[in-house]
Amino acid sequence: MFVDQARIKIKAGDGGDGAVSFHREKYVAAGGPDGGDGGRGGDIVFQVDDSFSTLIDFRYKRKYVAERGQNGSSRNCTGKSAPPLVVKVPRGTIVRDAKSGRIMADMSSDEPKVLARGGNGGKGNVHFATSTRQIPKFAKPGYPGEEFEVTLELKLLADVGLVGYPNVGKSTLISVVSAAKPKIANYHFTTLTPVLGVVRVGEEKSFVMADIPGLIEGAGDGVGLGHEFLRHVERCRLIVHVVDVSGVEGRDPEEDFTIINQELAKFNEELAKRPQIVAANKSDMATNEQVERFRAFSEEKGIPFFTISAATTQGTAELMNKISEVLDTLPPIREYEAEPIPQEELDDMLGVGKKFEVRVEDGVYYVEAPWIQHIMRTVDPDDYSSLQYFQRVLINCGIIAKLEEMGVQEGDTVDIEGFEFDFVN
């Protein structure tokens, strides 16, 4: 089963919490705080693996979560950082943020890409000791790891794409010029998955050719196999348009050529401008008049024309040499650049202008601020210094000012994400 699209969730590991600890040793008075920092959470790393050719594995496993960093411990011991979680994908996979559609990575090279970074570990209480606060009974929690829902889209890496109507001989052509073994039969839509083949034109010269399953009218709108395989033409540097010049199935080769190019343009305007070569196949079954008429049609459009018979290999060597010659003049296979994170999304990730909502119900002021939950996990209500730290957070992010603006009075109940307390000026 060939699968070239998938949607998954990735979650980097959270950082470990800082420790609250105090040095205790015989004959050592007032040892002081010695809580260590938490370890860093594991990254989510994408890596190309050429043993994969489809995205089918991602149909069965849709969530990838890296390990959390270990918590800090006493004696200033830092928690162990978590290892990265490596996600292996086939070469040519485009990773996009499902929410914004921006390209996060193009997995075309062997270089691994970090797509979600693990959270840093929280600071231990040793960092919060001052001359006036010598016994800090609180520490910082670990920071959450980055989390994304992403779409994976496989766009094959091929120099040349064979396009054309079903049953025009594309599979036969790639089978005789390369080691590829596609299914070949005398009926439409024999090939249901793209087939790659390496074509050698010299001892140290070769190129990759892709047999794109047969397109039909309306493919650009998703008719037939439609968008399923048109995306695989996008990276090709050169398009070889295979046409049945004999018209044995009652179709007009000129009309076929025009319709397929219209569908390519409908899917992506750039495809219509991609260099093309016409391969007039089944010439052994065509009359000279049919061949010459289509040759004139092709040359009128300024497109190189080759007469071939894939079944008998007539003209295939000349066609491959011409393809190699044209490829030498073309830029390398396109790689997509990762797009920058939009400022709004970046601000949200970094907590800039920390968002919160305040509502009043039955005299209770409810504050909704999900980002504050990881801070509240280490707040000790029985420790004055810890409460002071929490109060500074509420002041700095504007929650206290908002409560006062809404008329909160001393003694009123405030509920922040389930943590209730009486408001004190």
Could you read off the pLDDT of 90-141 as tens digits, one per residue?
988 999 999 888 999 999 999 999 999 998 898 898 888 877 778 888 888 8
The residue ranking higher by pLDDT, 393 or 192, is: 393
214 lies in the same domain as 301? yes
For 405, half-sphere exposure in the C-beta direction (CA atoms, 13 angstrom radius) is 8
Domain boundary pick from 154, 185, 214: 154
Within its chain, how far is the Cα of 247 from the centroid? 43
What CATH number has the domain bearing residue 380? 3.30.300.350
14 lies in the same domain as 147? yes
Tens of pLDDT, residue by residue over 55-68, are 888 988 999 999 99
Domain boundary pick from 154, 170, 195: 154
Question: What integer pLDDT is reported at residue 377 of this predicted model?
Answer: 67
295 lies in the same domain as 375? no
**Residue 311 sits in which domain range?**
160-327
What CATH number has the domain bearing residue 234? 3.40.50.300
Residue 333 located in a structural domain: no
**CA-based Rg of the chain, rounded to a whole angstrom?**
32
416 lies in the same domain as 323? no
How many domains in the chain? 3
Is 423 in contact with 412 (CB distance < 8 Å)?
A: yes
Q: How far apart are CA 20 and CA 38, in angstroms?
A: 11
Question: What integer pLDDT is reported at residue 226 of this predicted model?
Answer: 44
Tens of pLDDT, residue by residue over 127-141, are 888 777 788 888 888
277 lies in the same domain as 310? yes
105 lies in the same domain as 212? no
Distances (CA, A) of 423 to 83, 221, 264, 364, 386: 43, 61, 66, 11, 16
Band of residue 189 on the pLDDT scale cut at 50, 70, 90: very low
Residue 3 located in a structural domain: yes
Residue 79 located in a structural domain: yes
212 lies in the same domain as 175? yes
Residue 168 located in a structural domain: yes
Residue 332 token pair: 């390398």
Residue 341 located in a structural domain: no
Tens of pLDDT, residue by residue over 238-260, are 999 999 898 777 778 898 888 88
318 lies in the same domain as 371? no
pTM recorded for the entire structure: 0.71
Question: What integer pLDDT is reported at residue 304 of this predicted model?
Answer: 92
Residue range 168-173: mean pLDDT, rounded: 86
3-state helix, strand and coil shares in percent for the chain, rounded to the nearest 5: 25, 25, 50
170 lies in the same domain as 307? yes
187 lies in the same domain as 286? yes
Residue 334 located in a structural domain: no
219 lies in the same domain as 131? no
149 lies in the same domain as 222? no
Domain boundary pick from 154, 174, 197: 154
